[in-house]
Structure 1
């Protein structure tokens, strides 16, 4: 959406899936159980997004900072990712979902990167919901990688630095070709971006929910969209009503 006024169904929703560990702790369960239950929530939100007209859904699956977590937890998370792709890829492909992965792909070990590439390649011609998985992703790292590419182009004489614009920077980000998120949802009551889509979130609307991610359902998603629908997006300008009065 590029003009002011009340917001219809967002074209692009991004979600910071937070609270798996706290969900498990409150129930006396190991953290891995929270992550496992969180995968069920992923399945629900993917179906809900595709069914209500959302065109792009970005999920913050694993940040570049998450490698600092205990090795056993990281291993569990990698195992969940593998199982999700192996179990759900056929269903997502059948549902016409296109998968795209953003994040730093260098130094990924084992079969994780091949699995992500397989998911992208298998679904690349699909025309339904685009599911964007932010994996080994950090927004500052993304911007730094884009700046290095532009700096190399300028140093080689292939790019005039005076021609570097916000649009050109956006074209060099991981999300090139994807519209900026209209709505960013974060669960678990936290109210921060945590190095997620910092460039792309310039004019995003935010909905912060108290629910832990494993408790997120299609109904929770609908609630967030309802809150979004009441927002007036002006993109730095005045609302149509105010403009008419001022004129």
Structure 2
């Protein structure tokens, strides 16, 4: 029987390499990867997953060529702007985590509109990590605590200052393109998350590949430090 995680996180890797191997510009891979993200979002909703967090743009991605970064945000704006109504019709809530101070104003405006338009949706929550880094999230949380004057916190209290406050930790994290590292993603939240590494580039990561990951997850025994 297929075990469905309540919260799935995905590092969508391999867009650029997919394009380069086909003799295409890197942005073509990102465009194809965006279409794949839509397919996986809807597949996750149909499977009954309640939360899906996608690593969309990391704090380290600013190191990429300026032309590629600009094209990425333009693609993000155009695609997201067209999908807000569809997400709302499907009762999908959209949330964003990460820094907001470096994102282009036009992109930020669309992000805020998407959150506002879907805030009352309750079937499924999609969380896009944009200008996000796990270490940066923890540092921002610490600074919030210091600013509040709080002298000591428990793990539970600390979690309330994080970007994913109120969201359960991921049960499963998938990374595509054959890479087997975390890359500064959800460092606090994945303490007991199961990992699945797929050799498939993200643009080729279909619903069938997702089901392979879920089948593998279904055989895992999660002990959380205890003895079963």
TM-score (norm: length of structure 1): 0.90
List aligned pairs for 1:34-183, cutoff 5 A. Answer: 34-154=29-149, 159=150, 161-162=151-152, 164-183=153-172
Shift of 1:87: 1.4
- Mapped to 2, the partners of 1:153 and 1:35 lie a distance apart of 40
Shift of 1:166: 0.6
8 Å Cα contact 2:13/2:175 also seen in 1: yes
Structure 2: stretches of 5+ with no match in the other structure: none
Match of 2:208 among 219, 227, 231: 219
- Report whether the alignment pairs 1:184 with 2:179: no
Shift of 1:7: 8.4
| Bigger RCO of structures 1 and 2 (CA < 8 A, at least 6 apart) | 1
Root-mean-square deviation (Å):
1.2
SS of the residue 2:105 aligns to: coil
Moved over 3 A (4+): none
- Mapped to 2, the partners of 1:55 and 1:109 lie a distance apart of 29
- Mapped to 2, the partners of 1:7 and 1:153 lie a distance apart of 44
- Mapped to 2, the partners of 1:28 and 1:235 lie a distance apart of 45
